[in-house]
Chains A and B, each alone.
Chain A
Amino acid sequence: MKRRKAEWLTSLPTLVWLTLFVVVPTLLVFVIAFRPANPYGGIGRGWTLDTIRALATPSTLLIAWRTLWISLLTTAICLVLAVPTGYTIARAPARLRNRLLLLVIVPFWTSFLVRVFAWRSLLHPEGPIKKLLEALGLAGPDTTLLYNPVAVVLVMVYTFLPFTILPIYAAAEKFDFRLVEAARDLGARPFQSFRKVFLPGIRRGLLTAVLVVFIPALGSYIIPDLVGGPSGEMLGNKIAQRVFSDRNLPHASALSAVLVLAVLAPLVAVLVLQRKDKKSKIIMGEAP
Chain B
Amino acid sequence: MRRSRFPIAVTGLVLAFLYLPILILVANSFNPARYSSRWEGFSLVWYAKLFRSPEIWQAVRNTLLIAVSVTAVSVVLGTLAAYALHRWSSSRLQRLHFTLIYQPLVVPEILMGISLLMAFVAVGVPLGLFTIFLAHVTFCVSFVAMTVLGRLQDFDFSVIEAARDLGASPWQSTRRVLIPMLMPGIVAGGLLAFTLSVDDFVITFFVAGPGSTTLPLRIYSMIKYGAPPLINALSTLLLAVTLSAVLLSQHLADRRSGAG
Interface residues of A (CB under 8 A from B): 3, 7-8, 10-11, 13-15, 17-19, 21-26, 28-29, 32, 42-43, 81-82, 84-85, 87-89, 91, 100, 102-107, 109-115, 117-122, 124, 126-128, 131, 158, 161-162, 165, 181, 184, 190, 211, 215-216, 218-222, 226, 236, 239-240, 243, 249, 252-253, 256, 259-260, 263, 267, 284-285, 288
Interface residues of B (CB under 8 A from A): 1, 3-4, 6-8, 10-11, 14-15, 17-19, 21-22, 24-25, 28, 35-37, 77-78, 80-81, 83-84, 87-88, 91, 93-94, 96-97, 100-112, 114-119, 121-122, 134-135, 137-138, 141, 145-146, 149-150, 195, 199, 201-202, 205-206, 216, 219-220, 223-224, 228, 231-232, 235, 238-239, 242-243, 245-246, 249-250, 253
Q: Which residues of A contact B1 (CB under 8 A)?
A: 181, 184
Query: Once the chains are docked, how many angstroms separate the CA of A220 from the CA of B1?
Result: 44
Max count, chain B CB within 10 A of own CB: residue among A3, A211, A285: A285
Known contacts A7-B87, A21-B135; 5 additional CB pairs below 8 A are A28-B115, A117-B219, A239-B110, A243-B114, A285-B146
Query: Once the chains are docked, how many angstroms separate the CA of A113 from the CA of B206?
Result: 16
> Given that A18-B103, A85-B11, A114-B239 are contacting pairs, would A263 and B21 also be in contact in the complex, using a CB cutoff of 8 Å?
no
Query: Once the chains are docked, how many angstroms separate the CA of A111 from the CA of B1?
Result: 42
Tell me the nearest residue of chain B to A20, going by C-beta: B119
Contact present for A115 and B7 (CB under 8 Å): no
Q: Which residues of B contact A110 (CB under 8 A)?
A: 22, 238-239, 242-243
Contact present for B97 and A14 (CB under 8 Å): yes
Q: Which residues of B contact A211 (CB under 8 A)?
A: 106
Contact present for B91 and A117 (CB under 8 Å): no
Query: Once the chains are docked, how many angstroms separate the CA of A188 from the CA of B21?
Result: 40
Q: Which residues of B contact A43 (CB under 8 A)?
A: 121-122
Query: Once the chains are docked, how many angstroms separate the CA of A215 from the CA of B106?
Result: 7
Contact present for A113 and B223 (CB under 8 Å): yes
Contact present for A17 and B25 (CB under 8 Å): no
Q: Which residues of B contact A82 (CB under 8 A)?
A: 14
Q: Which of A89, A100, A259 contacts B110 (CB 8 A)?
A: A259
Contact present for A249 and B121 (CB under 8 Å): yes
Tell me the nearest residue of chain A to B108, going by C-beta: A219
Query: Once the chains are docked, how many angstroms separate the CA of A5 from the CA of B94?
Result: 13
Q: Which of A13, A85, A113, A267 contacts B10 (CB 8 A)?
A: A85
Contact present for B110 and A219 (CB under 8 Å): yes
Max count, chain B CB within 10 A of own CB: residue among A100, A161, A236: A236
